């Protein structure tokens, strides 16, 4: 019996790894391509591992653009908009989850549905407003826009996580004389840490990859990595190896962040004390 269970576990492990590798393959391929020459990148048959690995693409990329400035802007914008968003969304989601009214659900849905408005529809008006307010090409302006763009998602996700928390826990804390602030900080947040972590991760990724507003509202000072990528896509000439190098650089920071926060995600989830 024990043996069988063990083999079963190994089997699951192998299957999980196969799936993970399959999903990752295009990225692996992109990273490998970033070490090939442009000619080798599109030659047939393709080589699984670069025959003559070269750092030339990375050199070109670093020479051609100030990667660290773009990366820094991306970090500021994505973390900034997520943190700002959380500040606004936690109270809102709390209210919706614990003091629901008849209008809560329709409101939430409506919020989400306005996000289905294709952003090109409002590009010109927003551009004009930004021009008049002097917010074009500022980190502040872009951070606020991305925060507002992702806010419905943050609220919605937090709301669903909060709703899973049994109300009696909060009520018993209240009975013991905890104020609203204590209730949120000491009870609600720790319990839903996993949910909050995945919300944060998700929003950082969304903001990181947001390539409509970040391209249209910035030019140089506040341009994030999406603009960096846009300077490597589709020039006249072969570009796939350089694009691969630039993309690898663009996802590296967030891959590392994901790597750390994923541990956090798992730890946050083991809330044995609840229920």
Provide the 10 A C-beta neighbour count for residue 137.
Answer: 15
In angstroms, what is the minimal distance from the CB of 169 to other proteins? 14
- With contact defined as beta carbons under 8 Å apart, do 237 and 163 qualify? no
Distance CA(261)–CA(200), nearest Å, equals 9
* Contact yes or no for 207/224 (Cβ under 8 A): no
Residue 38 vs 72, nearer CB to other proteins: 38
Identify which of residues 71 and 155 has a Cβ nearer to other proteins in the complex: 155
At closest approach, how far in Å is the CB of 189 from other proteins?
15
CB of 71 to other proteins, least distance (A): 13
Please tell me the distance from the alpha carbon of residue 240 to that of residue 37, in angstroms, as a whole number.
Answer: 9
Least spacing, CB of residue 171 vs other proteins, in Å: 8
Q: How far is the CB of 168 from other proteins (least distance, A)?
A: 13
The whole-angstrom separation of Cα 181 and Cα 85 is 18
- CA nearest to 231, candidates 34, 40, 66: 66
Smallest distance, Å, CB 186 to other proteins? 16
Which residues are CB-neighbours of 205 under 8 A, at least 6 positions away?
A: 78, 254, 258
| Residues in the chain, total | 275
Give, as one character, the DSSP assignment of residue 233: S
Residue 234 backbone zone (phi > 0: left; psi -120 to 50: alpha; other: beta): left
Please identify, using beta-carbon distances, which residue of 51 and 122 lies nearer to other proteins. 122
Cβ at position 161, least distance to other proteins in Å? 8
Distance CA 109, CA 106 (A): 5
Give the separation between CA 255 and CA 232, rounded to whole angstroms: 20
CB 271, CB 195: distance < 8 Å: no
- The distance of Cα 242 from the centroid of its chain, to the nearest Å, equals 24
């Amino acid at each position: 019996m024990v043996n069988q269970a063990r083999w079963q576990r190994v089997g699951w492990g192998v299957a999980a790894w196969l799936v993970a590798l399959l999903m990752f393959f295009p990225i692996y391929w992109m990273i490998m391509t970033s070490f090939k020459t442009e000619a080798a990148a599109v030659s047939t048959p393709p080589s699984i591992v670069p025959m003559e690995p070269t750092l030339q693409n990375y050199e070109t990329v670093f020479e051609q653009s100030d990667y660290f400035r773009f990366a820094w802007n991306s970090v500021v914008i994505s973390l900034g908009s997520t943190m700002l968003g959380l500040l606004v969304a936690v109270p809102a989601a709390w209210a919706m989850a614990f003091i629901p009214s008849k209008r809560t659900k329709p409101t939430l849905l409506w919020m989400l549905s306005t996000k289905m408005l294709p952003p090109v529809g409002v590009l010109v008006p927003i551009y004009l407003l930004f021009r008049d307010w002097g917010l074009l090409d500022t980190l502040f302006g872009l951070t606020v826009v991305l925060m507002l763009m992702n806010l419905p998602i943050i609220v919605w996700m937090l709301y669903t996580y909060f709703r899973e928390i049994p109300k009696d826990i909060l009520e018993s804390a209240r009975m013991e004389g905890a104020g609203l602030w204590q209730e949120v900080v000491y009870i609600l947040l720790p319990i839903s840490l996993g949910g909050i972590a995945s919300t944060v991760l998700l929003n950082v990724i969304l903001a990181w990859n947001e390539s409509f507003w970040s391209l249209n509202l910035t030019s140089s000072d506040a341009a994030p990595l999406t603009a960096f990528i846009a300077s490597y896509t589709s020039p006249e000439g072969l570009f796939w190896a350089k694009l691969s190098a630039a993309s690898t650089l663009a996802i590296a920071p967030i891959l590392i962040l994901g790597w750390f926060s994923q541990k956090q995600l798992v730890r946050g989830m083991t809330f044995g004390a609840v229920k």
